[in-house]
Amino acid sequence: MHVPDLDRAERIGMPEAVLCEPKTDEQLAVVLRDLLSAGRPTLCTRLPADRLASLPVDLVEALDHDPASRTATLHGPLATRVGSVAVVAAGTSDHGVAAEAAATLRFSGVDTQLIVDVGVAALWRLEARLDEIRAADVVIVVAGMDAALVSVLGGMIANPVIAVPTSVGYGVAADGMSALHSSLASCAQGIAVMNIDNGFGAACAALRILALAHPS
Amino acid sequence: MHVPDLDRAERIGMPEAVLCEPKTDEQLAVVLRDLLSAGRPTLCTRLPADRLASLPVDLVEALDHDPASRTATLHGPLATRVGSVAVVAAGTSDHGVAAEAAATLRFSGVDTQLIVDVGVAALWRLEARLDEIRAADVVIVVAGMDAALVSVLGGMIANPVIAVPTSVGYGVAADGMSALHSSLASCAQGIAVMNIDNGFGAACAALRILALAHPS
Amino acid sequence: MHVPDLDRAERIGMPEAVLCEPKTDEQLAVVLRDLLSAGRPTLCTRLPADRLASLPVDLVEALDHDPASRTATLHGPLATRVGSVAVVAAGTSDHGVAAEAAATLRFSGVDTQLIVDVGVAALWRLEARLDEIRAADVVIVVAGMDAALVSVLGGMIANPVIAVPTSVGYGVAADGMSALHSSLASCAQGIAVMNIDNGFGAACAALRILALAHPS
Amino acid sequence: MHVPDLDRAERIGMPEAVLCEPKTDEQLAVVLRDLLSAGRPTLCTRLPADRLASLPVDLVEALDHDPASRTATLHGPLATRVGSVAVVAAGTSDHGVAAEAAATLRFSGVDTQLIVDVGVAALWRLEARLDEIRAADVVIVVAGMDAALVSVLGGMIANPVIAVPTSVGYGVAADGMSALHSSLASCAQGIAVMNIDNGFGAACAALRILALAHPS
Amino acid sequence: MHVPDLDRAERIGMPEAVLCEPKTDEQLAVVLRDLLSAGRPTLCTRLPADRLASLPVDLVEALDHDPASRTATLHGPLATRVGSVAVVAAGTSDHGVAAEAAATLRFSGVDTQLIVDVGVAALWRLEARLDEIRAADVVIVVAGMDAALVSVLGGMIANPVIAVPTSVGYGVAADGMSALHSSLASCAQGIAVMNIDNGFGAACAALRILALAHPS
Amino acid sequence: MHVPDLDRAERIGMPEAVLCEPKTDEQLAVVLRDLLSAGRPTLCTRLPADRLASLPVDLVEALDHDPASRTATLHGPLATRVGSVAVVAAGTSDHGVAAEAAATLRFSGVDTQLIVDVGVAALWRLEARLDEIRAADVVIVVAGMDAALVSVLGGMIANPVIAVPTSVGYGVAADGMSALHSSLASCAQGIAVMNIDNGFGAACAALRILALAHPS
Amino acid sequence: MHVPDLDRAERIGMPEAVLCEPKTDEQLAVVLRDLLSAGRPTLCTRLPADRLASLPVDLVEALDHDPASRTATLHGPLATRVGSVAVVAAGTSDHGVAAEAAATLRFSGVDTQLIVDVGVAALWRLEARLDEIRAADVVIVVAGMDAALVSVLGGMIANPVIAVPTSVGYGVAADGMSALHSSLASCAQGIAVMNIDNGFGAACAALRILALAHPS
Amino acid sequence: MHVPDLDRAERIGMPEAVLCEPKTDEQLAVVLRDLLSAGRPTLCTRLPADRLASLPVDLVEALDHDPASRTATLHGPLATRVGSVAVVAAGTSDHGVAAEAAATLRFSGVDTQLIVDVGVAALWRLEARLDEIRAADVVIVVAGMDAALVSVLGGMIANPVIAVPTSVGYGVAADGMSALHSSLASCAQGIAVMNIDNGFGAACAALRILALAHPS
């Protein structure tokens, strides 16, 4: 049985979340029904549309589902918070992970800009958005393959930067390791990195920083 | 020739730094003499005592060297800044990397606490220091082997947490990959991770956050 | 043809078991029918519900199947033995592997406690179960991702501890290697480790220890 | 500063130990002098003869050093305990790791048999020692390369078996990964595995089992 | 277009063979129809029953298919040759690869014994078949997981031994790398190794040896 | 004995070269004396100053050694050719590999520009050199760590681009794999990649292109 | 939204291309409809027949699809260019990647020869095509498994050579890494390498060279 | 203590051998003195000249040392046997491993040809030696980097072929894995492979084949 962790928000400031992918259909239905009954605002991640369809109909109706980010919310969103985040993605194929980060932040009440298709193969597009990016409190950069956007943007801005490597691509890029290692070895100083495809985690790291910068 | 990047501080807020390890003795001496002449505050990293001894004597005298962190400073430290960082290390063997992070922060004018020997094999030691850790603006966790301290501490505090895996150990831990992967896969939400042994980078990531939280 | 190894129990004290996954449907049906005819108590592992359905109906009826652990038994369980084991799991997603360990032990006549949802992100839940865990003869810890529970629990108790890393998760955790390496590099002393997802093997290792501690 | 963990023996039953390899000469001397003054029985591991020679002379004199196992003891050994362990090694090159396990056990007061040169390339040698091996409470198997001894011996005996893969060899065997993976994937049931070259850890795992089988 | 390599038999003594798996259905049908028309004896490998069913009906009828080895022959077998091979397999799950080796040899006119279920977990079964194995000119050993059978058998017999690691298993054994590395690092001297699951290649290596030992 | 490959230049247009590193001192002296006697223009690579010193004095005198590139030439350089190459390097630590590429090209009679310290952390430096880079027939990009320069420059210019990843750095970058994979997965189209640290090979690839563009 | 990069051809000379595989059906339809409306010549890669069938019927009709190369074109091909490329493939299973390279070149207006089934197991076939290969401006070599064709052909010709390793095969060859590493470590000098299966990228690298050799 | 395995020759036909590298100086001296006293013909492998110098002078005098192969013999060679082996090596840097294979064979009384510098970058050199190679009973191919020689030669001859990958090279070739995987994935059929740098093992595999082909 899933025991909702009722004081989590007070303790480390993270939203209640359920990672749906590794759970069996039975486990997932039990967890979600508990949370539904408890009336607790909850974010479900890694819940694509076809998985949603396998849930009991009352749960499907209760969930506010977003196919692009493969997330759903119960009793959300949380109250609006001060602070802003820019989620910047290199290519079309990185949208899903970027959308997961954005959905997590919006569920958490944070003003979030999603800025996509600014890969380094066309630098002027990135430069055209720089003012917008610099205006955010925290910047999340989502990039696969060579993850060059992480280093280039990291060298242009002074904001806190959180990199999310993605598993887009094939050959040496297939599992996201090329993007992960490239981000960790970035020549731009002070870039912190999340696990591959972990848009949710990047949003949580941003929430920790926002809580410091804008204490409630 | 090394061209000092004079407007870096204004641009992305990072300290001028020289990574000594991969440079030849000739390259290193040229770079340091340029920086010495320019009168620019500079941090040298990965400069152990025996490497220092191979430099020309005037450079050795000009450098303020710290063997524990294998760093040296020229014309430092920078002006004191508002904000504080706790650098927390699991074991004796992680001290070097933790000291590099602390030396970078102190050179940058940041109030820094170094809290060591609080590995999870003895949880009460960690618990005894929790108030001190929570009081810091940003927490850097330095841990090798299983990096369990990252997850345990990350689940206890709401601060921004930056993990630095270390290459301490042997067998599967020998190159730091076990600690890196453990940190990236942490069950604590919102932990951002640096490259293995990159104490300097963790300090830079903290500086980006401090600049947001305490704008000058 | 599968030749049942009739004197195995006498020789090394392990239960007769069939690993179903790598066998073809034809191979599996032949092996199971042989064991059914021989009247030998047998444990089938890695037999999920949909695979069970592909077997001939007489075999399906003869098997006592448990979907959670993906195991089934023939002519079981074995006689009750002295001794007890606690199977401790970090997250909901580790239940399947933990259940396999517990099913193997129960088939072998061992008193087994399954203690789940005690990951280190919420240490007080683990602490609330410590007395129960310490009361067991042997402790099996099932954990994926960072496997931090292995180190934390290993540092709290004096029992024999057997760690089973799981392949839960994505990115660097996807194949269980992060949890395996973290367990092998644990800062807690004397933790012995099994192959990834090998709940059955952990139960067998516990049986070896119980046979020493409680000789029949 | 190293803080001796004074109640460790009571808590999880492990001997006080210092892993010397990753510490600097300065760190090591400080730790050892603290332990010497405290009069606490201590085991030093990964301390080869040439490293010993770099310590201050008073520490060298106080330590009881064993070059074969690269261990040294202070104020040891601990009181004799009930129970016995057989440490079985495949080849001459595995002696060092086997000796580390044996030295740890003897320091801990355990009756220990060291049985070497019984690799599977000459099975009759192994068979000639089987009675001796079966008579021990716990069996530690130390093997590199293909680690075939782990599987062969594991299939012959009912004792608790702890495998220690070693980094002996070259090519695919160079770092011990072939022996580690072979041990984890052993066809013998219930073999628990330690990190590569971790003779000390295997002894600790044996101590946990002995404490269960022979409670004091 | 596939160009049959008509003088291959004369040149290096290998049978004409088609690796079906990586070819598209269109490519495969074209190649097979060419060979059928040319009346050339041909072995098809990696052609499971369901793939066979996707071929045009005239090809299905012309092929002599064996589901266990996933092979099929056209216009076979080749003329009987002097010499014999024993194909020895550890577990039920290795049968498919062993059967591929045996099917290749039988297609090539070689007297072949398939000896299975002789893994080292039950050594007496292996010992019971030793005379039979020693009587063969060449011995092919097929083993996954720890591949301990390779080392044990290699240390018992003087025959040429060819090892085929298999991708049976899960966790560290999942892709056959544990068995491959174990075979390459075997403590038995003079064991030559093939690619993972390459039963066909092992048969070809045996054919090279038979051609030397029994020149036509 | 080394047999000079006298018609190589005519056949594939590559310079006669000796890779010194893996040869024993004896092998190297024999090879070089043969080439010296034959009067053939030869390039020696991976010959650092201390290795040079171990050669017989007559060979040392005959060689024209360049410590920065760790190369030496005998009877060189070759006749001047039409065409130009720009060798562009990201950081000070990449100079050695870049210098090897430049030395190979200059030995081969090619007009070569070495452009360094233009990493993406300071994009305006790169932009300041773009006209110079675009003016070259072929561009070799030398970069380690994240190799972001490869993608950024590759997206700015239409020239043939050859990337050389370097083994500069530590942690995930230590062996050059992060730079290699990043270069192979570059988002810039049509970037061809060499082995890690292979400055010589990159120069040879450029020579093949120059021979096409400027046939003699 | 996909923003067509209208001045790409002028800037770096690469054709407009859409990598279909990682995009969702929705993303792909939007991108293609934009490009269709804009009337821009476009190449779609990694679009197999079954994926094509999932697109809206008007897009299917507008696309000129080639199943062998899994490419499709919109408003193509581009104007004919001076210059020629030979795409050389080792085995039947490499045809798909070779066809992708050829399709990209033909879309770009380049005269392209596809030369297949010339693997080194039958060297005379390769030798029979050498004149044809040498006559091309640029040679693309497509090879999986051991990629021996790359080294053999590279040692026979003076042309610019671009190697594309493929993921054909099983065991150690399964993911293309054996072919990639073999190509990067080729004993033939000056071979430049692309990511695994990247036929499109190899064509782009050839286009960069052709633009130099035959400026418009 | 090393126990000479006195009946090994009778049992599996392998020469008595001592792998010197992983043994301590003390272990090695004891083993060698035992064998010297026993008057048994013995081959020592991986004993470079500087290691030899660390042995006691009486052992140094008793050993017949060959620096090129890093082997030494005691009381050798064994009686001459019928049969012949060709050891073929690609480059100068592979000589050491090839020499180890040849030294093992000559110690075992086998007529051995060492044929070097026949890499595929200059195929006519290889072709010039083909008759000589075909005349041998068994062919050992020693090759590093891309190991292309293995596939090329394997496709030209019908002899039994044993491949020995070497760890020559840098970057992706540094540890011999590129040559190992290339050899295992060879497109030439029936090539059997040894561990990296294992010239001794290749000779032993050849001895097994010679014993079959030329029974005494």
Smallest CA-to-CA distance from G131 within G94, G156, G103, G166 is with G156
Chain E residues close to C27, C-beta within 8 Å: 92, 95
What φ, ψ does residue E63 adopt, rounded to 5°?
-85, 140
| pLDDT above 90 (res H216) | no
Residue at token pair 């090596």: H89
Task: Give residues with Cβ within 8 angstroms of E216, minimum separation 6.
Answer: E81, E82
Phi-psi domain of B82 (left: phi exceeds 0; alpha: psi -120 through 50; beta: other): beta
> Is E189's CB within 8 Å of H212's CB?
no
CB < 8 Å to F179, chain B: none
**Which residue shows structure tokens 């070759």?**
F78
Biggest CA–CA distance in chain C, Å, is 52
Q: Is the complex ipTM more than 0.90?
A: yes
CB contact under 8 A, F171 and B1: no
Q: Taking a C-beta distance cutoff of 8 angstroms, is the pair A74, A32 a contact? A: yes
For residues G130, G165, E4, H184, the Cα torsion angle rounded to the nearest 10 degrees is 120
- Which of B5, B19, B195 lies nearest to residue F171, judging by beta carbons? B195
Transcribe G131-176 into DSSP letters. HHHHTSSEEEEEE-TT-HHHHHHHTT--S-EEEEE---SSGGGTTS
Question: How confident is residue D10, by pLDDT bands cut at 50, 70 and 90?
Answer: low
**8 Å CB contact between F194 and F205:** yes
Contacts of F168 in chain B (CB under 8 A): 22
Instruction: Nearest by CB to C207, from D190, D207, D208: name it.
Output: D190
Q: How far apart are the first and last CA of chain H?
A: 33
Q: How far is H121 from chain F (nearest CA, A)?
A: 10
* CB-CB under 8 Å, C137 with D11: no
Name all contacts of H130-135 with Cβ < 8 Å and 24+ positions apart: H130/H156, H130/H157, H132/H86, H133/H86, H133/H88, H133/H157, H133/H159, H134/H158, H134/H159, H135/H84, H135/H86
Q: Which residues of H touch G (CB under 8 A)?
A: 90-91, 119-123, 145-148, 150-152, 154-156, 169, 171-173, 177-189
Query: Taking CB atoms and an 8 Å limit, are G92 and E23 in contact across chains?
Result: yes
Give A57's contacts (C-beta < 8 A, 6+ positions apart).
none
Cα–Cα distances in Å, from D167 out to C177, D118, D173, D206? 19, 18, 7, 21
Whether G208 and F159 lie within 8 Å, measured CB to CB: yes
Burial class (CB in 10 A: 0-12, 13-18, 19+), C205: buried
Cross-chain CB nearest to H195 (options D96, D122, D171): D171
What residue type is G149 in one-letter code? L
Residue C152 and residue A202: Cα distance in Å, rounded? 25
Please report residues of G whose CB lies closer than 8 A to that of E144: none
Give the pLDDT band of residue G2 (cuts 50, 70, 90).
very low
Asked if H169 contacts G169 with a C-beta cutoff of 8 angstroms, the reply is: no
Question: Touch between chain D and chain E (3+ CB pairs, < 8 Å)?
Answer: yes
Element housing H114 (H / E) = strand H111-115
Which residues on chain H are in Cβ contact (under 8 Å) with G130?
none
Min CA distance, G69 vs chain E (Å)?
12
Distance CA(B12)–CA(B207), nearest Å, equals: 10
The pLDDT value given to residue G106: 97
Does F contact B via 3+ CB–CB distances below 8 Å? yes
Chosen for mutation from G92, G123, G168, G187 (greatest number of chain H CBs closer than 10 Å) is G187
pLDDT at F180 over 60: yes
Cβ separation E117–C3 shorter than 8 A: yes
Distance from CA of D209 to the nearest CA of C (A): 5
Question: Angle at Cα D135 formed by Cα D129 and Cα D136, nearest 5°?
Answer: 100
- Checking if the pLDDT of D11 tops 80, the result is no
- A touches which chains (3+ CB pairs under 8 A)? B, C, F, G
Chain C neighbours (≥3 Cβ pairs under 8 A) are A, B, D, E
Question: For every one of its 216 residues, what pLDDT tens digit does chain A have, with 9 covering 90 and above?
Answer: 344 454 555 567 788 999 999 999 989 999 999 999 999 999 999 999 999 999 999 999 999 999 999 999 999 899 999 999 999 998 888 999 999 999 999 999 999 999 998 989 888 899 999 999 999 999 999 999 999 999 999 999 999 999 999 998 899 998 999 999 999 999 999 999 999 999 999 999 999 999 999 997
CA distance D163 to D193: 5
Residue with tokens 């380049």: G110
Chain B neighbors of C157, CB-CB under 8 A: none
Are D185 and E177 an interchain contact pair (Cβ–Cβ within 8 Å)?
A: no
User: What is the rounded distance in angstroms from the CA atom of residue E179 to the CA atom of residue E141?
Assistant: 12
Interface list for chain C against chain B, based on CB atoms closer than 8 Å: 90-91, 119-123, 145-148, 150-152, 154-156, 169, 171-173, 177-189
**Residue F8 clears pLDDT 80, i.e. is over it:** no
Interface test with chain A among F127, F130, F146, by most A beta carbons within 10 Å: F146
pLDDT tens-place string over residues E172-210: 998 999 999 999 999 999 999 999 999 999 999 999 999
Q: What is the dihedral of CA D196, D198, D201, D207, to 10 degrees?
A: 110
The predicted-structure confidence for G7-30, as pLDDT tens digits, reads as follows: 555 567 788 999 999 999 989 999
Per CB-CB distance under 8 Å, the chain F contacts of H173 are 195
Distance separating alpha carbons of residues H44 and H58, to the nearest angstrom = 16
For A133-195, the DSSP string reads HHTSSEEEEEE-TT-HHHHHHHTT--S-EEEEE---SSGGGTTSHHHHHHHHT-SSTTEEE--
Sequence length of chain B is 216
Touch between chain A and chain H: 3 or more Cβ pairs under 8 Å: no
Nearest to C172 among A19, A21, A195 (CB): A195
Q: Which two tokens stand for residue E145?
A: 């997981």
Containing D192, the helix (H) or strand (E) segment is strand D191-193
E10: pLDDT confidence band, cut at 50, 70 and 90? low
Q: In this predicted model, what pLDDT tens digit does every residue of C23-58 receive, in sequence order?
A: 999 899 999 999 999 999 999 999 999 999 999 999
At C67 the three-state DSSP class reads coil
Global model pTM greater than 0.80: yes
Are F199 and F207 in contact, with CB atoms under 8 Å apart? no
Question: In this model, does residue H5 exceed pLDDT 60?
Answer: no
